Chain A
């Protein structure tokens, strides 16, 4: 089944404790992206990757890192999480930037 998977789905952590949210797709897509969704602000892009080894900042990259060592995986790293990173996070992929995006199920993060 073609899909985008994210793990974990739910996470409660404390300020400063490094964490990684994994994202994997099995559709051989070139373009992958991370978004966060907050009430009243909607979805905002954190980082995106046009293809392997090529990543770039989106609208709200501060406090996040990403890597794209393989086509299928695009992990999101929070080196020192803070409460303002409490949010709902989505990973998505598409064949190319302009094409239909497929979204993961979301990861709900609470930073205390």
Chain B
């Protein structure tokens, strides 16, 4: 089963580029999360959103509940943004499901 698809799987960008990572899901959800996993392995939550758009610094997350799609944008990318970005959601059955992640490398 594959309730959530992320694209692209890998992404290399030049410093300063605008980056978009996409997440599509196939089931009804109440909220979607974007997570960041650094090369050392630690995971931090970037956004939790159930509608519209949220912005934090250079990061913007959007969600379209009707189209079952969310995007994570990074403006003016920087090498320190290099990480794996993972979307996740809580299904109505109380379980969490995760995308397989997008590995981002930002080159100086």
The residues of A with any CB-CB pair to B shorter than 8 Å are 33, 35, 40-45, 48, 50, 56, 58-59, 88, 90, 92, 97-103, 105-106
> Does B107 reach chain A (CB closer than 8 Å)?
no
Where chain A touches its partner, the secondary structure class is strand
Contact A98–B100 (Cβ < 8 Å) = no
Interface residues on B, range: 20 to 34
A-B Cβ contacts below 8 A, count: 53
Contact A100–B95 (Cβ < 8 Å) = no
Residues of B within 8 A of A44 (CB): 98
> Does B48 reach chain A (CB closer than 8 Å)?
yes
Contact A42–B98 (Cβ < 8 Å) = yes
Residues of B within 8 A of A103 (CB): 35, 42-45
Contact B42–A106 (Cβ < 8 Å) = yes
